[in-house]
Structure 1
């Protein structure tokens, strides 16, 4: 049922319009002889079509259209302007304001019904088109979500593969990735990028699958030649992940390659410095080192949170981007909550 509003200060004209609208199928009408009251009514209701007289003493039809357009979600309500045949300048201005059609005075019943029915048919077609566009958008969103779920599953499985060869635990990946997401939020990254950090950062050490066990699992300090081999894992991780069209894997590749770079240029594998290090790599560097320090491993005890905090401050501007360190520490309560929420199983931490 289409809701049609008729606005005309002449009650005789309104009565005629209402009678003619009774002959339009699936149409319900509201007739108001005061344009100000009609605007108030429009603020509370949304008509499908407005039949608007131009010549009204308190407010002409053009002014009505301007004020109607200023109401929330009413600028696109279709209007048929009713004018005298000679008022061409009025028609031009009405068209500029968005009028869909015109009716001449005196009203011709056949023309009136035909023009109203045509407009209602057009409105119905527009509504169906919008509904179809919304349906298509929903289907695209579903398909995109399915693709993202598959990407995330790929990331999770590759991350688990790295875990099997690394003494780091699954809880480490959870804490580190949530720390990275937290930093992204504090520095003002859009929600989509925050989520990308959360999903991609667990892949940071996937390149360790290419490191020999004798080096990867060595309980003591690596010698110079062993460390040189260990330093290959960022490039190995990048080579595994690079070349994908998926934004998630693209971000993971960048993180894998750059999370061991240092702000002063002394990191590896490429000795990048400052802003030349991609932001995601700089963020994960803070998150990964902090959690590594505060986590127990077979070869070390966990540092107290405050000691690790002091280390970040000490290395700000050297190992870490100072802005990101400040962002991380400014959300200290949330950092502590993440640390407490994702705890290692004792069997994992001591395996």
Structure 2
């Protein structure tokens, strides 16, 4: 036995149309034609149309008369296309008379089509269906592109983190230093009021602070004794090597911040740092933050040339270096975050 199954669309799932016309009779014609297939909002003035177009849920499509007093259809279209949240809504002009110049003007303002008056029902319905389908396809494409962009960004971030850790493997068997240092930098950035977006980017960029170590010979990088002057000069070149690796990437906030961190995290508040001898607030904030995070972790970690300091010893050293090596305000903020610092140490501790 065969039975036909009818698929019905709930009222809530129907596309929402905004019909704008200053003549009630014209609105009645369109509402009568479309009410069974669509949810309807109506506006008899341009001012009301602008308000209704921005109410949630936003219209899926707007049928817009051109000739209206005060705010005409062209102006309504222009204003809606200027706003990011209403810009994607397809607008079809509905008009009795239109010149070629008017048609070009409407399309240039962002309209997708015209429907002539008097309304021919099959043509009107077909054009509305077509542009709703195109709009839906565009939305789906946008979501796919946005998702792929997120995946690509996350992949790039992960690759850069691993590249930063690769540099650390040369003098730190696990590469955990960059993870601790990045998290210390994040905590300090948040505590000094850095916006969330910038703090997040800093956390991603910080692992690349010493990426230039890749280019330093092992005989110098892993030397257990003190470096002689010539060796120290070679060691200092890791800053420029890192900057060269990261390049000039103004289009990427992450890469640009990573470059600034790599270039400035060895500068000192009193101007005695390198490579450029920057002083005080001439050192970018992210460089000053990473200087504290980097030195603290270096002090509390085992290195080929030293034993690990205790947390108390390292924090005391930071305090002693206020207004010398470090920004005093940032040091005080770092000291105030000791519980979080200790938690990061535990979370990213070197494996036994």
Match of 2:289 among 260, 283, 290: 283
User: In 2, distance between residues paired with 1:156 and 1:275?
Assistant: 28
User: In 2, distance between residues paired with 1:5 and 1:233?
Assistant: 62
CA separation of 1:113/1:261 partners in 2, compared to 1, >3 Å: closer, same or farther?
A: same
User: In 2, distance between residues paired with 1:239 and 1:65?
Assistant: 55
Query: Is the partner of 2:41 in helix, strand or coil?
Result: strand
Q: Is the Cα contact below 8 Å between 2:46 and 2:76 reproduced in 1?
A: no
2:321 equivalent to 1:315 = yes
Q: Is the Cα contact below 8 Å between 2:15 and 2:39 reproduced in 1?
A: yes
- Deviation, 1:265, is 0.8
Deviates more, 1:328-337 or 1:286-295: 328-337
- Deviation, 1:139, is 3.2
User: In 1, distance between residues paired with 2:243 and 2:310?
Assistant: 32
- Which residue does 1:152 correspond to in 2? 157
User: In 2, distance between residues paired with 1:181 and 1:79?
Assistant: 50
Query: Is the partner of 1:272 in helix, strand or coil?
Result: coil
Query: Is the partner of 1:49 in helix, strand or coil?
Result: strand
User: In 2, distance between residues paired with 1:321 and 1:180?
Assistant: 14
What RMSD in Å do the two structures reach over aligned CA positions? 4.1
Q: Is the Cα contact below 8 Å between 1:254 and 1:281 reproduced in 2?
A: yes
Query: Is the partner of 1:114 in helix, strand or coil?
Result: coil
- Deviation, 1:153, is 4.7
2:144 equivalent to 1:136 = no
Under a length normalisation based on structure 2, what TM-score does the superposition of the two structures give? 0.66
Under a length normalisation based on structure 1, what TM-score does the superposition of the two structures give? 0.67
Q: How many aligned residue pairs are there?
A: 298
- Deviation, 1:270, is 1.4
- Which residue does 2:7 correspond to in 1? none
Matches within 5 A, 1:96-115: 114=119
Q: Is the Cα contact below 8 Å between 2:165 and 2:207 reproduced in 1?
A: no
2:36 equivalent to 1:28 = yes
User: In 1, distance between residues paired with 2:55 and 2:133?
Assistant: 24
CA separation of 1:98/1:241 partners in 2, compared to 1, >3 Å: closer, same or farther?
A: closer
- Which residue does 1:92 correspond to in 2? 69
CA separation of 1:80/1:130 partners in 2, compared to 1, >3 Å: closer, same or farther?
A: closer
CA separation of 1:92/1:151 partners in 2, compared to 1, >3 Å: closer, same or farther?
A: same
Deviates more, 1:170-179 or 1:149-158: 149-158
CA separation of 1:136/1:217 partners in 2, compared to 1, >3 Å: closer, same or farther?
A: same
- Which residue does 1:293 correspond to in 2? 299
Q: Is the Cα contact below 8 Å between 1:262 and 1:319 reproduced in 2?
A: yes
CA separation of 1:187/1:49 partners in 2, compared to 1, >3 Å: closer, same or farther?
A: same
User: In 2, distance between residues paired with 1:63 and 1:151?
Assistant: 46
Matches within 5 A, 1:1-351: 1=14, 21=32, 24=33, 27-28=35-36, 48-51=39-42, 72-73=56-57, 91-93=68-70, 95=72, 114=119, 124=129, 127-167=132-172, 169-244=174-249, 246-346=252-352
CA separation of 1:309/1:138 partners in 2, compared to 1, >3 Å: closer, same or farther?
A: same
Deviates more, 1:185-194 or 1:261-270: 185-194
Larger Cα Rg: Structure 1 or Structure 2? 1
CA separation of 1:95/1:175 partners in 2, compared to 1, >3 Å: closer, same or farther?
A: same
Deviates more, 1:180-189 or 1:72-81: 72-81
Q: Is the Cα contact below 8 Å between 2:240 and 2:263 reproduced in 1?
A: yes
- Which residue does 2:88 correspond to in 1? none
Query: Is the partner of 2:163 in helix, strand or coil?
Result: helix
User: In 2, distance between residues paired with 1:183 and 1:264?
Assistant: 20
User: In 2, distance between residues paired with 1:239 and 1:268?
Assistant: 16
Q: Is the Cα contact below 8 Å between 1:238 and 1:257 reproduced in 2?
A: yes
Q: Is the Cα contact below 8 Å between 2:17 and 2:61 reproduced in 1?
A: no
Query: Is the partner of 2:198 in helix, strand or coil?
Result: helix
Structure 2 gap ranges (5+): 1-13, 78-92, 97-115
User: In 1, distance between residues paired with 2:182 and 2:17?
Assistant: 56
User: In 1, distance between residues paired with 2:240 and 2:18?
Assistant: 69
